[in-house]
Amino acid sequence: MKIRDILAEGKPTLSFEVFPPKTEDKFDSVEAAAREIAALKPAFMSVTYGAGGGTSSYTADIASAVKAQGVTPLAHLTCVSSTREKVHGVLRELKDRGIENVLALRGDIPADGRVEKDYRYASELIGEIKAAGDFCIGAACYPEGHVESVNKTADIQHLKEKVEAGCDFVTTQMFFDNNILYNYLYRIREQGITVPVVAGIMPVTNAAQIKRICSMSGTYLPSRFKAIVDRFGDNPAAMKQAGIAYATEQIIDLIANHVNGIHVYSMNKPDVAEQIKRSLSEIVG
């Protein structure tokens, strides 16, 4: 099923993200985690794409495993480190496997700055995917602005280019203060961007994750969130419980404010996905 049709129903949806293994020896455990999450029957599940594309077949394999469980898969695809030939090879593989949804991304510029020359921005990839077949296309958006963008206005203009190139919905970068998303929605709607926006929510369940988030410039951490980290950061079980509760509260507030598409960065953790799903059993069908 196409994700645009799922979102068009206008009901609250809960979806989850998994990431593929970096090496073959981890494949079975990642696949097992993906199957467990799929057993929760989310609206769809996304499978990320390894930077550089070296593990692209794992993305397609995990997405196929999700599909075999009866859950709609969304395969991510990045372009900046790939040739056009490689990208079209991946699209052919997805089509052959009946995977209809692609999240089209530029990908991060590697630290050494070495990229292929075929693509500069995600909008170019979106145009090509659109021409390549009957895919439903998603893209990334950044309520706090993308790290490289000069300002939010320019970033929103570039988001508009992605929508005009043919993307059907957008998924946000994680955020920890819902007011940031509400303000962003106002700004993008004002610019005529009307595609569904799926809110990306990260349940922060351990101290290592918090360090990574802090190192990502621009992610605002509200004082309520910082207090949780200060109090429970050294206690893994308490941090996990508090992190799941914080994410769940964020989701309830979003749905109460009619942000219906919720995507949880579940990081291959079926127990985290299960607890969130259970806490929302009467809120998301």
Task: Specify whether 17 is catalytic.
Answer: yes
* AA letter at 247: A
Question: 201 or 239: whose CB is closer to ligand FAD?
Answer: 201
Choosing from 4, 130, 158, 160, the residue that interacts with ligand FAD (CB under 6 A) is 158
Q: Does 219 bind ligand FAD (CB under 6 A)?
A: no
129 lies in the site for ligand FAD, by CB under 6 A: no
**78 is a site residue for ligand FAD (CB under 6 A):** yes
Selection from 58, 7, 1 nearest residue 34 by Cα: 58
Binding residue for ligand FAD, selected from 3, 14, 65, 105, defined by CB under 6 A? 105
State in angstroms the smallest separation of the CB of 107 from ligand FAD.
Answer: 4
Local structure of residue 117 (DSSP, 8 states): S
Burial of 130 (0-12, 13-18, 19+ CB in 10 A): middle
Q: Is 108 in the site for ligand FAD (CB under 6 A)?
A: yes
Q: Assess contact for 169 and 141: CB atoms under 8 A.
A: no
Among 15, 56, 76, 184, which residue interacts with ligand FAD (rule: CB under 6 A)?
A: 76
Decide if 80 contacts 105 (C-beta within 8 A).
Answer: no
Write down the least CB distance from residue 236 to ligand FAD, Å.
26
Amino acid at residue number 31: E
**For 268, which DSSP code?**
T
Angle, helices 122-132/152-165, rounded to nearest 10 degrees: 10
- Helix and strand numbers, DSSP H then E, in the chain: 11, 8
* Burial tier of 39 (Cβ tally within 10 Å: 0-12, 13-18, 19+): middle
CB of 145 to ligand FAD, least distance (A): 8
Q: How many residues form the binding site for ligand FAD (CB under 6 A)?
A: 25
Positions 23 through 62 that interact with ligand FAD (CB under 6 A): 48-49, 51
**Residues 251 to 270: which contact ligand FAD by CB under 6 A?**
none
Binding site for ligand FAD (CB under 6 A): 48-49, 51, 76, 78, 103, 105-108, 121-123, 140, 146, 148-149, 154-155, 158, 161-162, 171, 173, 200
